[in-house]
Amino acid sequence: MIQKATFAGGCFWCMVSPFEEQPGIHGIVSGYMGGTVENPTYEQVKTGQTGHLEVVEITFDSAIFPYKKLLELYWPQIDPTDDEGQYIDRGSQYRTAIFYHNEEQRKLAAKSKEELAQSGRFDKPIVTEIRPAVAFYPAEEYHQNYHIKNPKEYKEERISSGRDAFIDKHWK
């Protein structure tokens, strides 16, 4: 069954590649969700004033790649204890969140969050929100597949942001 999954994990550029080559993934679009402005631009969202988070919307076949596996890929991409942003990217637009599209997704997301909280992996509370999906707005074209269009800049961004160092320390 074809479904949508939406994850906020800081800069959306870094949230595409972990999911893109998995079986059953039909598409990934960088965009914005959770705010109050219709059809926001990147310039508006980056101010932190619209309420939107940078997200990736994933279209997937749950018979091939179940939602639970998406969650297992999502958590190791983020610092789930940081409610001020992610890595070098600071501000409300870079907070983490799981936007669920149906009740099954909500239950699985809540269960995975609880399991992570009980795992003892982190000393601080897990602050990633679990919220109902609302209107999704695709980001501008230059943000789509940024890691493919600009591989050198993307690699430098990942390294300088602290994301890769955090992932290596806490998730590997």
Q: Which residues are catalytic?
A: 11
Output DSSP code: residue 99: E
Tokens of 106: 């909500």
**Element holding 85 (H helix, E strand):** strand 85-86
SS3 105: helix
CA dist., res. 137 & res. 158, Å (int):
24
CA dist., res. 22 & res. 101, Å (int):
20
Q: 3-state SS of 20-49?
A: HCCCCEEEEEEEEECCCCCCCCHHHHCCCC
